[in-house]
Amino acid sequence: MTHTPPEHPEPQHGEPGPQLAQPYPQPYPQPHPQPYPQAGHPYPAPGAPAMQPPGYPHPVPAGPPLAHWGSRVGASLIDGALTTAPLLVGYLVFVGLLVGWADAGDPYASPNPPVAAFVALILGWAGYIAMFIWNRVFRQGRTGRSVGKQLVGLTLIAEATGRPVGAGPAFLRDLVHVVDGFFYIGYLWPLWDEKRQTFADKIMATVVVKG
pLDDT at site 111: 58
Among the listed residues 177, 188, 151, 185, the one whose alpha carbon sits nearest the alpha carbon of residue 70:
188
**Predicted pLDDT at 115:** 87
Cβ–Cβ contacts within 10 Å for residue 101, how many? 15
Residue 194 within a domain? yes
Residue 81 located in a structural domain: yes
State the pLDDT at residue 79. Answer: 98
Question: How much is the pLDDT for 2?
Answer: 55
Segments forming the whole domain that contains residue 123? 69-210
The answer to whether position 31 is within a domain reads no
Residue 33 in domain? no
Q: Mean pLDDT for the chain? A: 81
Q: Within a domain: residue 168?
A: yes
Query: What is the pLDDT at residue 114?
Result: 82
Segment 67-77, tens digit of pLDDT: 999 999 999 99
> Which regions in the chain score pLDDT beneath 50?
28, 35-48, 53, 56, 60
58 within domain boundaries = no
Instruction: Please tell me the distance from the alpha carbon of residue 72 to that of residue 6, in angstroms, as a whole number.
Output: 103
The reported pLDDT for the residue numbered 98 is: 87
Domains in the chain: how many in total?
1
CA distance 179 to 181: 5
**Residue 38 domain-assigned (yes or no):** no
pLDDT at 100: 82
In a domain, 183, yes or no: yes
pLDDT tens, residue by residue, 154-201: 999 999 999 999 999 999 999 999 999 999 999 999 999 999 999 999
